[in-house]
Structures are given as C-alpha cells and as structure tokens.
Amino acid sequence: MGIGKKAGAKNSYKELFHEANFAEALIKGDIWTKLSALIMGLGCFVRGQIIRGFVFLAFEALFIWYMLFHGAYWLSMLPSLGKVGPTKELVTKLGRTVEQVTYNDNSFKILLYGILTIFLIVAFCITWATNLKMAYDAQLKKAQGKKVNKFKDDLHSLVDEQFYKTLLSIPVIGITVFTFLPIVFMILVAFTNYDGAHDGYITSLFKWVGFQNFKTMFTTTGGSNSYFGAFMGILGWTIVWAIFATFSNYILGILVALLINKKGIKFKKLWRTILVMTIAIPQFISLLYVAKLFDTNGLVNAMLLNWHWIKAPIDFWGTPLTARILVIVINIWIGIPYLMLIATGILMNIPADLYEASKIDGASPFQQFRYITMPYMLFVTAPYLLTSFTGNMNNFNVIYLLSGGGPLNVKASTAAGGVGYTDLLITWLFKITTGTDSLYYMASVIGIAIFAIVATLTLLVYNRLGSNKNEGDMA
C-alpha cells in the first residue's frame, strides 16, 4: 500500500508540474498555449502571469530585432568569412596623390559574431520550448483549480526549492561565454588560413581551408624535418618532462615532509618557513635569476672556473641533455615546498594507532612507510597527482623562463616557431603565434591535439583511481 501511495503521489506530481514537453503543449494545449508558439508569453499573459509573459515577449522581440539588423548578416557571411577585403586607391588631397586604404569585411568579427549568433539561436530555441511548457502547465493548473504561480511565487521558488538553479545560472553563463565559446572559436580557426598574412581585416581576409591544416601537421613526409616530426619529438619530451616533474616532486616532497615531522627534529617551523619562502617569491623573478646563474658567464661557471674544476665555461643551456636535466632539477626546487605542505597535512591525519600496532607486530620504519604511509598518501593525493601531471604537460612558466625552449633543434627547421629541445607543446604553440608568421591556424591545430591528449589521459586515469572508485575506504 505504501509503495502504491508513493507511486500515485509521484504520478500526480508529474501530471501537475513541468513534465510536459513542448510537443505535447502544441498538440494538447488550448488556443492560447498554441499561439504562444508565435507570440511568446501569450499563454502566461492570459493566465495572469504578467511579468513572466513580459519576459518571454521581450526576449522574443529582442531576438527578432537582433536577427533582422545584425544576426542575419553575420550568418550570411559565415560561409565565406567575408567577400571584400581591404582595398587601396589613389586619391588627391591638397595637391598631393596619396594611397588611401578602405577596410571592408572583417573575417575575425564574422567568425566571432557568427558563433555568438548560433549560440543565441540555440538559447532562443530553449526559451521558446520553455515558454510553451510553462503556458501548458499554467493551463493544466487552472483547469484543475490549482493556483497559478505569480511573479513573487517564482522569486520565492528561486531562493527556496529551486535555489540550486539560481546558484548554477551564473557559473553556467560564465563557462559558456568565457570557456565553451573560446574553445569553439579556437577549433574553427584550425579550419581556416588565419595567420599574420591573413589577419582578416588589416592585411587581407582569411578563408575556410577544410582539413588542410591537419594534413600539414600530421603528414609524415620529411621525417623529423616536418611538422609531424617536430610534433612527435616535442610530444615525447613533453610526456617525459611531465613524468619526471610530477613524480620527482611528489616523492621528494613526501620524504622532506617525513623528515621534518620526524620526532627529534628541531626547528621544524624554521625548516618549513625556509621552504615556503620559495613559494612566496614570484616565479618570474626566481626562474629568470636561476637561469642567469647557469649562463656561460653566470655565477655557476665562474665558481667552477675559480675552483679549477673546469677549464672552459660549460654551455648549460646550449646542450640538449644538460638543458633538459637542468629544467627538471630546477623544477624540483620549485615544486617540493608545495608537496611538503600537502604531505604534512595528510601525515598529521594518519591515525597514530596504525603505527603503534605495526610497531607491536615488529614492523620496521621502511615497512611502516611502505604499507601505511604511502598507501594512505596515494589514496588521498591520487587526484592531485593526476592534475599535477596534466598541469606539467602545459607548464609554460618553468620552460619558457629558464631555457626559452632552447637549444634550437636544427633537425626540425622546417616547422615554424623555432623548435627547441626543451620546448613543450604549449611553448611551441606560443612561439608559433608570436613569431614573424603568426600561424594562428597551426597553433589552433596544436591546441586541439593538446586538448585531445590531455583529456584522454585524464579520463582514462581518473576512472581507474582507487580514490574515485572506493571513496569510503579511508574514512
């Protein structure tokens, strides 16, 4: 009986509140509901929902105005990305013949506002369907003698049972405008010839080129002296760098935390403060300073020469192997303090009873570390390890401020951007967009590749994490 009552209550709720779709509203709705498909908000107006109806009607009016005077133009120009580029003509002014430039279509604006218009059309379709459903729901309530919500009831609902919608609305709008829209724009740029010579307005228009840029990037002809060769070489180093940068910091950070927290160690606060100081100093300053220390005329070479350990300065940043080792070692100096702080907090929360029981059972310090400390640390910090790995794949600061991506890889001279042996995919992308050619379309292809690789690795690893599958195991 109890189950039947619950099911009946659930069905009556579904019949009464917002369960109808817009197709049902069009078929079963009365004349006012059906007319709401043409005049948005009309069904709400008729049933006393004046402000709700006004909002729908105002949105429809603004949408029609925008599409007539702006949106239709952007959509019509989207397939061509502009028809008339900048034109030049000779004109006579004050007895002098000068060249006058007239700027016409703007490919960049056409692409951007074309995407915005498509987003607006999608938003209008969703609002149109919502308008129909609300009109039909109001019709059903009135037919059953139920109270039809007024504007103050809607406001009360948004701060009460539907408060989650109020909280989520701003983040959703922000993500759409500042994250999803730029991603769509970047993806579409990969299918154009947008670069320094085709900026879309000042120099000349840019056009759609289909998958030509992807063919250029992933064509194997030319071996290492090609975009694909350069891409695979940089991708390999990027993965090696991410592995070393992540796990060296992780392991050494935990060891430093264990050492500082060990019983009998004095001045614990002092050691923590010294390590935290490296976090307080901006990386822009510290990394540039450290990079200068290892120059051929830097302090390190000067000291080695004075001690007669070397006869000539070592070109640390000019040799591929030493440059790669240096960026990994210096990154350890930067990353250990973060891991030390995280590990310290976790170590303090491991139950002391576990260690006491293991001592009674005759466990050595190494066995305690292996079977108690590390499993607990890995379970709690596994998500951090994943985000740290993906973050290191896109670690622009350390590479660019230390080595600038160098030394130059002459084997990949055909690829744009001056590919270096310590370049990551993200620094190569930066070089391509800020070089003399400014190949934005190729940078977009690289950006899509980075996203695909990082997203795939993240999803595969995250779905296999113990902390994701067994959340309550360490509780």
pLDDT of the chain, 475 residues: tens digit per residue: 444 444 444 443 344 344 557 788 888 889 999 999 999 999 999 998 899 999 999 999 999 999 999 999 999 999 999 999 999 888 877 778 888 888 899 999 999 999 999 999 999 999 999 999 999 988 988 888 888 888 788 888 878 888 888 888 889 889 988 889 999 999 999 999 999 889 888 889 999 999 999 998 988 776 666 888 889 999 999 999 999 999 999 999 999 988 888 877 888 888 888 888 878 888 888 899 999 999 999 999 999 999 999 999 999 999 999 999 999 999 998 889 888 888 888 888 888 888 889 988 898 888 988 888 888 888 888 888 888 999 999 999 999 999 999 898 887 767 777 889 999 999 999 999 887 778 999 999 999 999 999 889 888 888 877 555 555 455 4
Q: Is the peptide bond before 407 cis (omega within 30 degrees of 0)?
A: yes
Angle, CA 342 vertex, CA 339 and CA 345 arms, to 5°: 145
Tokens of 28: 């079963």
Instruction: Parse the chain into domains and list their residue ranges.
Output: 16-189, 220-469
Domain 220-469 has CATH 1.10.3720.10: yes
pLDDT of residue 80: 94
What pLDDT score was predicted for residue 115?
96
pLDDT of residue 225: 67
Distance of CA 181 to the CA centre of its chain: 12
The structure's pTM equals 0.82
* Those residues with Cβ within 8 angstroms of residue 302's Cβ, 6 or more apart along the chain or in another chain: none
Q: What is the pLDDT of residue 208?
A: 96
Looking at residue 157, its pLDDT comes to 82
